[in-house]
Structure 1
Amino acid sequence: MKKFQTILYYCYSPIAEAEQFAANHLLFCKSLGLTGRIIVADEGLNGTVSGTPEACAAYMEAIHADERFAKTEFKIDDVEEPSFIKMHCRYKSEIVHSGLRDTSIINPNEKTGKHLEPAEFRSMIDQEDVIILDVRSNYEHSLGKFKNAVTLDIENFRDFPEKIAELEQYKDKKVLTYCTGGIKCEKASALLLHHGFNDVYQLHGGIIKYGKEAGGEDFEGKCYVFDNRIAVEVNSVNPTVISTCYNCGTTTAKMINCANPECNEHITQCDNCGEELQGCCSAACVSHPRRRPYDGTGYYVKVPQPVHESVK
């Protein structure tokens, strides 16, 4: 039995005085001995936390006890060690940055795509009038995606609104959106509806839930996750590897962050190139004076950068 758990969740629910809530919530998480990363905004919560099963259970109980978050769903993974080193809980303008100046045009609590449970999603993905749309970033879908999914050339989700024009040809199709845990789809599907797409759906619980409840069937490759695991297996039915090494083109499912902290590029890299380039994406990054020691994982704890007195 594994000694720790990692739980992924989100909840769109208005939070009054959200900035103060974030500060108090950080203290609560630390009191439980949790590590992780939580974003708090006026519109809700988005988090991944890790700790002992007892600590995670206490955390989930506390979240559910708050009527604002009573319907929150948690995706739970058993892990050998905590998936984070530190605990962060920060206030931001949105729990998923949409890139919109006017965020009032999308409110997942008012209008969003129809939720599909994993079994329903699986039954629809091969239909002729269906388009499967990946709303994640390039480095995520390059590592793994659903078979025949439409992907977008975006570096961050905030680029998604600008790409909707490229999807006009699918307006009369059933558009099935998906992401890692479901949170991005809430806004992506709402935005598609706002732009006149008529039949929009989203995979409830995202890839992670699909892997647990539908065996991950027809998901090709691995799923990128935002903790020190970097990537997790999804498909236990018909698994395959679709990603290739950024440097040599060899098939590999390993993803890293470039060891040069000023680059920090997300890339897939085979072990041979990892050793040769010391976890860097290029020779230029290998020679960078601030290059971080490469331990074979390609995961690095974020270290706060010094702030100059003049901009404090």
Structure 2
Amino acid sequence: MTAFQTLLYYCYTPIAEAEQFAADHLAFCKSLNLTGRIIVADEGLNGTVSGTREACAAYMAAIRADERFDRLEFKIDDVEEPSFIKMHCRYKAEIVHSGLRDPHIINPNQRTGKHLEPTEFRDMLDRDDVVVLDVRSNYEHNLGRFKNAVTLDIDNFRDFPEKINELAQYKDKKVLTYCTGGIKCEKASALLLHHGFSDVYQLHGGIIKYGKEAGGENFEGKCYVFDNRVAVDVNRVNPTVVSTCRNCGRTTPKMINCANPECNEHFTQCDQCGEELQGCCSVECTTHPRKRTYDGTGYYVKVPQPVNKA
């Protein structure tokens, strides 16, 4: 049994005085010596936190005791060490940046796609009347995705609304949306319904829950996660690697951030090219004066920049 756990969760629920809630919640997390990244908005809560098993248990108990979060589900991973270095809890306009802020059009508490449990999702994957839609960004689905999934050329989820017209050809299909933990699908499926897609579903709990409850069957590659693990295994049934090194084309499951901090691009790179390019995506990036030291992981802790108070 590992000494630490990482918790992934979200909940769309109205939070009054959310900015103050974020400040209080940060203090609470620090009191438990948790590390992680939490976003608080008027529309809800989205977070990944990591710490000792005892600290995680105390955190989950506190969240579950708050009736605003009675629908919240935790995806729990046992880890060898905390998945973050620091604890951040910030107030923002949305808990996942989409630009879809009009509650009269998109409100996950009122209308979303039908939630499918992992085994239900698995059983529908190969049906002729189904299309499986990945609503994540390029660097995520390039690392791993469901077999035969439709992927979109987007760098950020906020670009998703611009792709709706490209999906019109699937309006007569059952559209099964999925993402890492489910949070993006809440708004993506709602937007599809708003634009006239009549039969829309979403993978409840996302890829992470699918791996735990359905063995990850037919998920190809690894799943990108937003902590220092970078990527996690999902498929225990028929695993395969689908990602290739950006630089040489070899098959590789390894994803890193470019060592040039001004580039910081997420990309897949084999170990050989990583050593040759010092963890950079290109020769040009290797010459940057602030290039970070590549330690083989390709994960870098953000260093706070001085604030000019003048």
TM value normalised by structure 2: 0.99
Q: Distance in 2 between matches of 1:135 and 1:218?
A: 17
The root-mean-square deviation of aligned C-alpha atoms, in Å, is 0.9
Letter in 2 for 1:246: R
Answering whether residue 218 of structure 2 is matched by residue 218 of structure 1, we say: yes
Answering whether residue 188 of structure 2 is matched by residue 188 of structure 1, we say: yes
Q: What secondary structure, in the 3-state scheme, does the structure 1 residue paired with 2:55 have?
A: helix
Q: What secondary structure, in the 3-state scheme, does the structure 2 residue paired with 1:59 have?
A: helix
Q: Distance in 2 between matches of 1:219 and 1:283?
A: 33
Q: Distance in 2 between matches of 1:78 and 1:269?
A: 26
1:97-130 deviations in Å (ceiling 9; x for gaps): 1123635410000000000000100110100000
Q: Where does residue 146 of structure 2 map in the other structure?
A: 146
Q: What secondary structure, in the 3-state scheme, does the structure 2 residue paired with 1:22 have?
A: helix
Residue correspondence of structure 1 range 50-199 to structure 2 within 5 A: 50-100=50-100, 102-199=102-199
1:81-102 deviations in Å (ceiling 9; x for gaps): 0000000000000001112363
Q: What secondary structure, in the 3-state scheme, does the structure 1 residue paired with 2:74 have?
A: strand
Letter in 2 for 1:57: A
Q: Distance in 1 between matches of 2:24 and 2:90?
A: 11
What's the % identity of the aligned pairs? 84
Letter in 1 for 2:75: K
Answering whether residue 298 of structure 2 is matched by residue 298 of structure 1, we say: yes
Q: Distance in 1 between matches of 2:113 and 2:55?
A: 34
Q: Distance in 2 between matches of 1:264 and 1:25?
A: 29
Letter in 2 for 1:267: F
Structure 1 position 309, deviation (Å): 4.6
Runs of at least 5 residues in structure 1 that lack an aligned partner in the other structure: none
Structure 1 position 307, deviation (Å): 3.6
Q: Distance in 1 between matches of 2:146 and 2:9?
A: 22
Q: Distance in 1 between matches of 2:100 and 2:110?
A: 17
Answering whether residue 11 of structure 2 is matched by residue 11 of structure 1, we say: yes
1:114-168 deviations in Å (ceiling 9; x for gaps): 0000010011010000000000000000000000000000000000000001000
Structure 1 position 302, deviation (Å): 1.1
Runs of at least 5 residues in structure 2 that lack an aligned partner in the other structure: none
Structure 1 position 34, deviation (Å): 0.2
TM value normalised by structure 1: 0.98
1:39-85 deviations in Å (ceiling 9; x for gaps): 00000000000000110010000001000002210000000000000
Letter in 1 for 2:9: Y
Q: Where does residue 227 of structure 1 map in the other structure?
A: 227
Q: Where does residue 263 of structure 1 map in the other structure?
A: 263
1:11-42 deviations in Å (ceiling 9; x for gaps): 00000000000000000000001000000000
Q: Where does residue 26 of structure 1 map in the other structure?
A: 26
Q: What secondary structure, in the 3-state scheme, does the structure 1 residue paired with 2:78 have?
A: strand
Q: Distance in 2 between matches of 1:140 and 1:255?
A: 9
Q: Distance in 2 between matches of 1:68 and 1:160?
A: 29
The number of aligned residues is 310
